[in-house]
Structure formats: C-alpha cells, structure tokens
Chains A and B, each alone.
Chain A
Amino acid sequence: DTGVSQNPRHKITKRGQNVTFRCDPISEHNRLYWYRQTLGQGPEFLTYFQNEAQLEKSRLLSDRFSAERPKGSFSTLEIQRTEQGDSAMYLCASSLAGGNPNSPLHFGNGTRLTVT
C-alpha cells in the first residue's frame, strides 16, 4: 500500500449539483480525517472517523455536507446543492489509533473542487 488515495483529483461542477469524493486510507489505519483547504490558507478540520464511527464534526460542516465510512475502510464525503464557496481542496488523512500523540497524519493528494 503506497499511501492515502483520493478520487477524483479534480471535480468541476455547476452550482446546485451534488458531488461525492472518495478516500481510501492506508490499510491498517483506523483513524480517518477530512480537511478543507482554500487558497492561501492552512487545512481546516471538517470531520473525523474512528473505524466506522464519526466522532467529531466541525461547525464548518454545514447540513449540505455528509461523510460516511460504512465498513471502517474507505470514506466518502458528499456535498449537496454545491455553492461557489465550496470551491476548495478537500484533503483526507489517516493515522493509527492508539495513545501516541506523536503519530503523524498521512495525507492524500486531495480532490480539488471547482463550483461554477
């Protein structure tokens, strides 16, 4: 396994359409994170899964956003009724569970969403 995989790499959609992104974490990692990054900013936390349980959602995650990790492996992030403000890079990261706070997150290459 070579790392965290995200698909698609790029997505262009019209305002009002729904989009779905997929993340495949490193296989033995049971922690999965979604972040959003806009131009000139650092990544902002969106949501977190431990196995299949979604344990935290940021206030950035409006009702139009939903994330799932049905079998504790891959995850999907869906945005309904997209708005131009949703244009950003969506990053997925994974890590091992456990009590080691020094364990880094491993990021995928992201999905760049452009809403026209």
Chain B
Amino acid sequence: AQSVAQPEDQVNVAEGNPLTVKCTYSVSGNPYLFWYVQYPNRGLQFLLKYITGDNLVKGSYGFEAEFNKSQTSFHLKKPSALVSDSALYFCAVRDYGGATNKLIFGTGTLLAVQP
C-alpha cells in the first residue's frame, strides 16, 4: 500500500532563513507525489508535484521540492521563508492503479515563521 510520512509535527524558522519540511514515501511502483498547503479554515491548495526524472521540482509561491529515490524522500524547501508561509503543509501520494487514483495524505507539518 502507498503511504507517506511527515516526521515533524512542527517546524520553526526565522523569516529570511531557508526552510525544509520533510516527507518520506513508501510505494510499489512509480511514485506520484504532491505537496499541498492549508491555511486556517480553508481547503488544501496544490503547491507542486513530482515529475518523473526531475530531482528538483519548482512550484507555487517560491516553493520547490527535492526528490531523492535512494532515501525515498520528497522534502519541501524554500530558500527564504516569509511570515505569510506560516501554515499547515501536507505531503501526499497517489494510490495509483486502482479505480480511484485517490491521494493518501500525511499527518501534516505546521510551519511557523517568526518575524
């Protein structure tokens, strides 16, 4: 079964510093990986997705993600954090091959950017 794990419940970073939000995955077959962001009382907004062959994927709002096959990781990164980046971040993997192609989500990481 496909799964993702987000080992950190919360990440704290100072504004202007680089940030990393970690995600590891377990899949049978090719990994189809996604990052979403959620602001309070809102739905999930798509940030970026893994594209086969690209180890560094660029997404919305200056975010990027680094894919590492040997470490089965897909970490979210940003070179310079903004206070407005403070939100809940979810990694997800597609349950591909069944009827639904549904996404399976991690437990989320709360990013807090201090001014």
A interface, CB within 8 angstroms of B? 4, 6, 31, 33, 40-45, 48, 50, 55-56, 91, 93, 95, 101-102, 104-110, 112
Contact = CB atoms under 8 A, between A and B. Distances in A.
B49 A42 contact: no
A106 B49 CA distance: 13
A56 B99 contact: yes
Contacts of A101: 30, 32, 94, 96, 101
A43 B90 contact: yes
A91 B44 contact: yes
Nearest to A44: B105
Interface string B30-57: 1010101000011111100111000000
B45 A107 contact: yes
B104 interface: yes
B108 A42 contact: yes
30 contacts: A4-B43, A31-B101, A33-B100, A40-B108, A41-B108, A42-B108, A43-B90, A43-B105, A44-B105, A45-B103, A48-B99, A48-B102, A55-B99, A55-B100, A56-B102, A91-B44, A93-B44, A101-B32, A101-B96, A102-B32, A104-B34, A104-B46, A105-B46, A107-B36, A107-B44, A107-B45, A109-B41, A109-B42, A110-B41, A110-B43
Interface string B95-115: 010111111111110000000
A101 B103 CA distance: 10
A68 B17 CA distance: 47
B100 A56 contact: yes
Most buried by A among B44, B46, B92: B44
Contact of B46 (A42, A45, A55, A106): A106
B43 A91 contact: yes
B22 to A, nearest CB: 15
B49 A104 contact: yes
Nearest to B108: A42
Nearest to B95: A45
A45 B102 contact: yes
